[in-house]
Amino acid sequence: MENGSWRGVVQMDRNWRKNFKKGKWRQLKEMVAGTKENPVDQLNQYDLNELKKKPLSTHLQENKDFLHALFQDCSDVVFREFAIEGTNTQALIVYIDGMVSTQLVDLSLLRSLLIEEGNECKLERLQEHTLNATQLNDIDHFGKLVLQLVNGDTILLVDGNEKGLAVGYRGAEHRSISEPETESVIRGPREGFNENIRTSTALLRRKLKTPRLKMKSMMIGRETQTNLVIAYLEGIADESLVKEVLARLDKIDIDGVLESGYIEELIQDNTWSLFPQIMNTERPDTVAASLLEGRVAILVEGTPFVLIAPTTLWSMLQASEDYYERWQISTLLRLLRILLFNIALLTPAFYIAVTTFHQEMIPTSLMLSIAAAREAIPFPAVVEALLMEIAFEALREAGIRLPKTVGQAVSILGALVVGQAAVQAGIVSAPMVIVVSITGIASFVIPRFNLAITVRILRFPLMILASVLGVFGIIIGFMFIVVHLCKLRSFGVPYLAPLAPLQMDDLADTLTRVPIWANTKRPIHLGIPNPVRIGEDIAKINGQQGGMEDEEK
């Protein structure tokens, strides 16, 4: 071999090693294998910001090659290439199987294009004269194309056009509207949100038929691209509150959002608090009532649970049914909930304290009965309470996770069998079973599940404090809880408002429920610009006469 040939081989080897060390994989492919480079190698195809920088080509084949490389190994992405009749212009439709109505694609889109005869296939003409779809959006870059495609639109690309069209033929299967299982009522609407965000916004729009109802859309999640809708009533909700909600949502940078619980944790004021600072609900009437009070709702695609902010402790203890029954009944129910809230929190700890340290607080006959029941029990009261509470929580969790037909029977029979067997075996006393049962029943009265869980968790440290310091330990623990609640905020609103700080005008619809005709003002502690919610005449007529009288009398 000649010296020049050897020099060429050596130089090629040196270049190959240099490129290998630098990691220039594309040059190596061209040098060694001579293969054609992948059209998405030059950019990060999974970054939408990168895709927004790449415009569509006027050559259909280039767009097709890019999309094929982008959605490689995606068997649900359908590519349908065809020629428009009369012009022999090549066109391509792309959609995701299962997210579009294939019947509409076949009967409307394809049929309209296949009978197009003898005209120049410009996208503007197709959009104005040929396609019969209510939703048509222009696409000029691959970032928007991918977003529209993954959201269920059908993409139309025509050769010779530098833009594409996103046609709204969405037809994904979703759950029908049904009654919310977590917020059942005796009197009230039976409809609830579902996982389809547009169905949920329609349910809300049916409640509030006003152009004041604003719905701002945004997208969160680098991989999930989850759609969110921020709903509020313009002129009623405080503008600074709306801006704060939007600002907190805009700061979220996460790979995916699968449920509204993700959003709740990321935008709440105090992430270390056990108390929920944002309310969630499945009921459109609850969301509508909250918007009328000046709050903001956040609807998340893929979940029926809508977030409401700001919220307070007293809002978490109220139910939508309070406003559907007579005000006297609703007032008694609210007072009962507040009483049972304290019973669920303090009863086990108080029983431990009085039986361990403060027997003089118990009447003599009752003390003798408790002592006789505890005579053969080998454990102190705190161990008894912990055993029973843990067993009760386990049974409750098992009843939730099991199928409905089995879960209720398991939870009820399990509680009866375990409780009775434990008493007969001398492991726990009968009074302790009664205390734990009353506590469990009281916790079920709390309308919001996340607040009930908080109460169930706080019972355990209070029981330990009661076993060490007696009633003084309960007082210390309760003071810590109250101080924490006084410091807690929900989007700047005090968690105990309007009780702390005191707002006398708002107390009428907090611990109690005044008649609807007397509730003339919206909550002042929310800082809303339009506080008037009911006319003065109706309030004056009902207040002075006690109701609407027949004019003929």
Q: Looking at residue 118, what is its pLDDT?
A: 46
pLDDT higher than threshold 80 for residue 541: no
The three-class DSSP label of residue 278 is coil
Indicate the pLDDT class of residue 418, thresholds 50, 70 and 90.
confident
Do both 262 and 152 map to the same domain? no
Q: Among the listed ranges 78-92, 340-354, 477-491, which one has the minimum average pLDDT value?
A: 78-92
Q: Looking at residue 116, what is its pLDDT?
A: 53
Q: Among the listed ranges 17-26, 38-47, 87-96, which one has the minimum average pLDDT value?
A: 17-26
Q: Looking at residue 28, what is its pLDDT?
A: 37
Q: What CA–CA distance (Å, rounded) separates 512 from 499? A: 12
Do both 163 and 203 map to the same domain? no
Do both 392 and 475 map to the same domain? yes
Pick the more confident residue, 36 or 100. Answer: 100
pLDDT higher than threshold 50 for residue 508: yes
- CA distances (Å), origin 238, targets 106, 232, 301, 530: 48, 9, 25, 9
pLDDT higher than threshold 50 for residue 179: yes
What single letter denotes the amino acid at residue 416?
L
Do both 159 and 85 map to the same domain? yes
34 located within any domain: no
Kind and range of the H or E run holding 540: helix 536-545
Do both 353 and 414 map to the same domain? yes
Q: Looking at residue 33, what is its pLDDT?
A: 42
With tokens 């205390």, the residue in question is 435
Q: Looking at residue 275, what is its pLDDT?
A: 95
Q: Looking at residue 169, what is its pLDDT?
A: 81
The three-class DSSP label of residue 87 is coil
pLDDT higher than threshold 60 for residue 523: yes
pLDDT higher than threshold 50 for residue 26: no
Residue 41 DSSP class: T
pLDDT higher than threshold 60 for residue 333: yes
Average pLDDT, the chain: 83
Pick the more confident residue, 66 or 547. Answer: 66
Q: Looking at residue 369, what is its pLDDT?
A: 86
463 located within any domain: yes
Q: What CA–CA distance (Å, rounded) separates 46 from 146? A: 10
Do both 135 and 243 map to the same domain? no
Q: Looking at residue 246, what is its pLDDT?
A: 95
Do both 282 and 227 map to the same domain? yes
Q: Among the listed ranges 205-214, 255-264, 517-526, which one has the minimum average pLDDT value?
A: 517-526
* Residue span of the structural domain in which 81 resides: 48-167
Out of 449, 475, 494, a domain closes at 494
pLDDT higher than threshold 80 for residue 467: yes
Q: What is the mean pLDDT of residues 519-538?
A: 79
Indicate the pLDDT class of residue 457, thresholds 50, 70 and 90.
very high
369 located within any domain: yes
Q: Looking at residue 411, what is its pLDDT?
A: 65
Write the CB contacts of 293 (distance below 8 Å, at least 6 apart in sequence): 522, 523, 526, 528
How many other β-carbons are positioned within 10 Å of the β-carbon of residue 368? 11
Q: Looking at residue 171, what is its pLDDT?
A: 78
What single letter denotes the amino acid at residue 93?
I
287 located within any domain: yes
Indicate the pLDDT class of residue 44, thresholds 50, 70 and 90.
low
515 located within any domain: no
38 located within any domain: no
Q: What is the mean pLDDT of residues 298-317?
A: 94
pLDDT higher than threshold 60 for residue 45: no
The tokens describing 268, both together, are 């709440």
Out of 76-90, 272-286, 431-445, give the one with best mean pLDDT: 272-286
Do both 209 and 271 map to the same domain? yes
Nearest to 493, CA basis, from 269, 266, 231, 320: 269
Q: What is the mean pLDDT of residues 54-63?
A: 89
pLDDT higher than threshold 50 for residue 16: no
- Report the number of distinct structural domains present in the chain: 3
The tokens describing 88, both together, are 């022999």
Do both 159 and 300 map to the same domain? no
Q: What is the mean pLDDT of residues 199-203?
A: 92
Q: Looking at residue 32, what is its pLDDT?
A: 39
% of the chain exceeding 70 in pLDDT = 82
For residues 56 and 164, the answer to whether their CB atoms sit within 8 Å is yes
pLDDT higher than threshold 70 for residue 34: no
Indicate the pLDDT class of residue 329, thresholds 50, 70 and 90.
very high
246 located within any domain: yes
Do both 62 and 150 map to the same domain? yes
Q: What is the mean pLDDT of residues 465-491?
A: 94
Burial readout 371-397 (b: 16 or more C-beta within 10 A, e: otherwise): eebbeebebebbebbbbbbebbbebbe
User: How would DSSP label each residue in 429-494?
Assistant: -HHHHHHHHHHHHHHHT-S-HHHHHHHHHHHHHHHHHHHHHTHHHHHHHHHHHHHHHHH-EETTEE
Q: Among the listed ranges 163-177, 198-212, 411-425, 430-444, which one has the minimum average pLDDT value?
A: 411-425
pLDDT higher than threshold 80 for residue 124: no
For residues 180 and 284, the answer to whether their CB atoms sit within 8 Å is no
Q: What is the mean pLDDT of residues 63-82?
A: 89
What single letter denotes the amino acid at residue 537?
D
Do both 474 and 371 map to the same domain? yes
Q: What is the mean pLDDT of residues 21-31?
A: 42
Do both 285 and 399 map to the same domain? no
pLDDT higher than threshold 50 for residue 379: yes
Separation of first and last alpha carbons in the chain:
125
